[in-house]
Structure 1
Amino acid sequence: MMRAIYILPVIFVILVAVLSSLFIVDERKKALVLQFGDVKQVKEVAGLGFKVPFIQDVVYYEDRILGLQTAPIEVTLLSDRRLVVDAFARWRITDVVAFRQAVGGGGEDRAQVLLNNILTQAIPEVLGNATQDRVLSQDRNALMNQILTIAKREGAALGVDVIDVRLTRTDLPEQNLAATFARMRAEREREAADEIARGGEAAQRVRASADREVVELTSDARRQADVVRGEADAERNRILAEAYGLDPEFFAFTRSLLAYETALKGGNSSIVLNPDSTFFDYLGSDTAPVSGEVPAPAPAPAPAPAP
């Protein structure tokens, strides 16, 4: 019984020692076994690991890709224009021993601070040699690749690999926004005025061309109408001449009737003619006078009786 009392604490201590010597590395982690601050073992493969209990400690680090959003900073471009820029980077721990030496006990949080400082220095260095059009355009991959190259070089000393860097914000400072917007508005208004002027000029040319074409078409149509009308009049006169040539007396008769119709219309005008005039030849006789014969004078009226 007394032996069992002494054996149980020994078993308990042995069990605690065995459990303390075991550690498990998750597939998303990397592990370092430290002894009094010195690295004794690197465990980068997921699974079960062993360490000296009570003397060695295990520190875990992320094996996944991590993200970093930099703080906004003002940079001066090659054209002395200022922009507010920030970036987003993706990085991963590649050398846990160098990483431990660089960040100490700060871990990933300390690495984020150091990488942010690296990018804060790399962004002005690269953008300071670029123009505003190049920075604000969609095709700025070359600038981001230059920043990435610097971040990779500096990050290698930390035991990390910077996978990608992207500029997420490129805005003007608040104090410059109003002036910039006013200038952009003036430029757009000037372009609009130019477009309106060019449109008005083009419209004027179109209207002038249309008016000229109308005049030409109208003149040509009138000329063709005059030609057709002249040909029609000539044909009419030819037909009339042929018809009147068949019976000259009938021609004279119809001409007289047309003259009577025109002259004897009712109205306020008066015509004084000699009754013996040849104008009344067809009114005094039902036949036409012989050529050269003077119509007989009409009988004189009887005198009125005395009162």
Structure 2
Amino acid sequence: MKNNTLNLLLIFVFVLGFLGFNSLYVVTEGNKGIVTRFGKVVRDSEAHLNIVNPGLHFKMPFVDRVKSLDVRIQTISSSADRFVTSEKKDVIIDSYVKWQISDPATYYLTTAGGNKTQAEELLRRRINNSLRSQIGRLTIHEIVSGRNNHNDDASVEDNDFDSVDVAVASQSKRDEVMQNALKDIGASAKSLGIKIVDVRIKQINLPPEVSNSIYQRMRAERDAVAKLHRSQGRKEAEAIKAHADREVVVKIAEAERQARTLRGEGDAEATRIYATAYKQNPKLFEFLRSMDAYKNAMTSGKDTLVLDPNSEFFKYFNDINGALK
């Protein structure tokens, strides 16, 4: 009898614990909970959806279900897509959006029970439409450079501009596009119970066919500049070469003139020395001149001279005084 009572007590405790366990649920931090009963959302006394805050809560076991909604800031990274500018030219833009659930009840009802995939798909469409509208009013130059066309020719050094005017003139068109898109999407996202925190353009590219044509044009422009510099360099090189050649001719002529002058002065000095030496001892001078002539005529030792022995050339051979026979 006691064993039966104990078994019943254990079964009762087990059932009570099981029911208690299924009657409790926890909503973690950063989430909101929505309770459904028999597939329908539980509402409060004013027919509003009952939003459950983070913490430990009770529910009817086996009947109630809890849908947890992440209310933290989340990111949607859109794939790169083509947009058409005001010039009817294509650009490829990659963007992302930061969003957050602001009204869990509205979000739950408009996204088929808090379906995150459906919510992100709706946001992507609206983001794409807003950016397409913004990009369609700009030129490629404005999108890439980030400034207005009329600001490119303006001088920020003008004394009529103060620092505030310059800052306004320098406002980035990309920032303007992102701010306008943030306003547009933010207004429409409220109907989904979503708050748009930020809209950012990550990257702006041109299609491959447009990029290739731009690269070819840039290459042609750089080639033209290079050819201009090379032609100017050749012109300056020719001028420098002509100047150097002229300087060489002038210096060579001057050197030759000085050389002729020095040779003339040397010859005159040699003649003067010879004349002075001859006046001092004409016989000795004549004798030495004859000895030099003998030496120069008979350097190899095998020379043959066909001369009259009584000629003047051999006068010192016959007589040391140079008397001819």
Normalising to structure 1: TM-score of the pair? 0.65
Partner of 1:70: 78
User: How far apart, CA to CA, are the structure 2 residues paired with 1:252 and 1:57?
Assistant: 147
Judging changes above 3 Å, is the alpha-carbon distance between structure 1 residues 93 and 269 closer, same or farther for their aligned structure 2 residues? farther
- Aligned-partner residue type, residue 29 of structure 1: N
AA in 2 matched with 1:252: E
Tell me by how many angstroms 1:198 deviates: 4.1
Q: Closer, same or farther in 2 for the Cα pair 1:84/1:240, shift >3 Å?
A: same
Q: Which amino acid aligns with 1:161?
A: I
3-state DSSP class of the match of 2:321?
A: coil
2:42 to 27, 30, 35: 35
2:89 to 81, 101, 112: 81
Counterparts in 2 of 1:216 and 1:24: CA distance versus 1, 3 Å: farther
Matches within 5 A, 1:1-307: 12=15, 16=19, 18-33=20-35, 34-35=41-42, 38-43=48-53, 46-50=54-58, 57-100=65-108, 102-136=110-144, 142-153=172-183, 154-155=185-186, 157=190, 158=192, 159-172=194-207, 176=210, 179=213, 182-184=216-218, 186-219=220-253, 221-222=255-256, 225-226=259-260, 229=263, 233=267, 236-237=270-271, 239-257=273-291, 282=316, 285-288=319-322, 298=325
Q: Distance in 1 between matches of 2:93 and 2:242?
A: 55
In structure 1, runs of 5+ residues without a counterpart are 290-294, 299-307
Q: Which amino acid aligns with 1:22?
A: L
Shift of 1:151: 3.6
Any conservation in 2 of the 1:84–1:173 contact (CA below 8 Å)?
no
Alpha-carbon shift at residue 100 of structure 1 (Å): 3.7
Q: 1:301 matched to which residue of 2?
A: none
Alpha-carbon distance change, 137 to 262 in structure 1, aligned in 2, over 3 angstroms? same
CA RMSD of aligned residues (A): 4.8
How far 1:185 moved relative to its partner?
Answer: 5.0
When residues 179 and 28 of structure 1 are mapped into structure 2, their CA distance, relative to the original with a 3 A threshold, is same
Higher mean C-alpha deviation, range 279-288 or range 145-154: 279-288
The one-letter amino acid paired with 1:152 is: L
TM-score by length of 2: 0.62
Question: What's the secondary structure of 1:118's corresponding residue?
Answer: helix
Counterpart CA distance in 1 for 2:239 and 2:95 is 53
Q: Percent identity?
A: 28
Closer, same or farther in 2 for the Cα pair 1:151/1:133, shift >3 Å?
Answer: closer
CA–CA distance in structure 2, aligned partners of residues 91 and 183 of structure 1: 42
Q: Distance in 1 between matches of 2:218 and 2:118?
A: 43
SS at match of 1:105: coil
CA-to-aligned-CA distance 1:88-110 (integer Å, 9 cap, x gap): 33333344345445535253222
What is the distance in 2 between the residues matched to 1:35 and 1:41?
9
Equivalenced residue count is: 283
What secondary structure does 2:29 align onto? coil
1:153-188 per-residue CA deviation (whole Å, 9 max, x = no partner) reads 2235242233351333513155x5665555455445
Gaps of 5+ in 2: 36-40, 149-170
Aligned-pair CA distance for 1:20: 4.9
Change (3 A) 1:63 1:195: farther
CA distance in structure 1 between the aligned counterparts of 2:24 and 2:147, rounded to whole angstroms: 53
SS in 2 for 1:146: helix
**Larger radius of gyration, structure 1 or 2?**
1
**What amino acid sits opposite 2:42 in the alignment?**
Q
User: Could you tell me which amino acid in structure 2 is paired with residue 128 of structure 1?
Assistant: G
Match of 1:303 in 2: none
| Aligned twin of 1:305 | none
Change (3 A) 1:285 1:268: closer
